Structure 1
Amino acid sequence: MSVEMELRAVRVRYGPLEALHGVDLPVPAGTATVLLGRNGSGRTTVLRALAGAVRPSAGRVLWRGADVTRLPPHLRARRGLCFVPDLRAVYATLTVAENLRLAGDPDAALDAYPELRPLLPRRAGTLSGGERRMLAVSRALAAPARVVLVDEPSLGMSPPVAARTYTLLGALCARGTALVTAEQRLPENLPRGTLVHELRRGEITFSGEPGEPAARRLLGGPGLPGTRAVSDGS
């Protein structure tokens, strides 16, 4: 299993507060990685550090062995990184159709989320939370990327659409994409081979696979017995 990106002893500060305390995190190619934790645990900051949206106060960010710690977000995007944040992930003043055209292949997005088709003329800012989330996640599906980072991909979605979303994201892994998502609870429809990391107060407190007994104990009981892995995201 080759490592696509990696955090090595990364610390991130927001003013006087340190959000990450020397985090080590490998991101394997062709694999789904799920970051679990409550609000304030540091999972979003891990995504932002990988994307270049925040610069570590210490430690390094590597991409296929090359140090990209100081590489800005737009250059990481040109190298093949797609970051979908949890907030402000769509252009609110543009229509759904315009957002999709900026993302890449609109047809791929509409195949993934046909619910967006009747909404094409509407401005993205008028959509419901779940509709905006579908539009945001479709960015990751419309343009091929080597690394896809999505903060709470199923936020505001109905359970069937949330399950479909992880199936679609899992299919990216089958094509070799390194996928990293941040969630408060372990989602369903995880692709086979998913790795789970729990964060608490800026530190990784558990790393393993979803079905491990330690994961059931550490990661929160309800919701875990109902999760299931599906081969290659299908």
Structure 2
Amino acid sequence: MCHVFLYPSPVHLQGKTSEDLTIEFKEIARISKKDKAELILDCVQNDGNTLREYQESRDFITTSLVRDLEHQKEELAGLDKEIEKILLSFDYKLTSMPGIGTSIASKLIAEIGDIRRFHNADKLARFAGVAPVKFSSAGKGKEQSSRQGNRQLHGLFYFLAVTMVSKPKNGIPNHPVFYDYYMRKIGEGKTKSQALVCIMRRLVNIVYGMMKNKTEYREPIREEEQ
């Protein structure tokens, strides 16, 4: 048996078509599909009488929660606008880079601070704990990311690295240049974790250059195009 919690009761769905429901869903999530709306309407129809005891109270509680969520959504939208104003005052153009939105850009700036205190990208990489550190075992050396440094900043670069090399369901990498670089490192014998460190290090270089020179993101050239 299907259960629908998106509306207080099936009464609110009476007379609605799958097209109507899909439009409403897209106000919440852009990727909503018509087949999901059709499934919900089908479930409501097959469930028959789904009214429960104290239905009016249940409806009131549900609509109250919805209003509260809508208010929070408006508050977050207002916060984003204020953050965008602050970002403009810094004149950094980090959001021009795919994968970096207002939230990530503001966190990067907050953790890095004045970019001028880092003489080069290597200094920033060490500060973020991204600079690879060599370990030796039984005569064999391997590289791992340092566990020292700013862990919040390290986490931001890790999140960005994973985003860059991820492949959605359509099979197309989010960022082909970084994905190719990632796969090349794995082909050279590095583990996935070590390859991600390489991506993080490259991202540090890019972010450092963008902040240092206050420039927009420029797509790296793929090796076969060089």
TM-score, scaled relative to structure 2 = 0.22
Greater RCO, 1 or 2 (C-alpha within 8 Å, sep 6+): 1
Structure ranking higher in strand proportion: 1
> Which has the larger Rg?
2
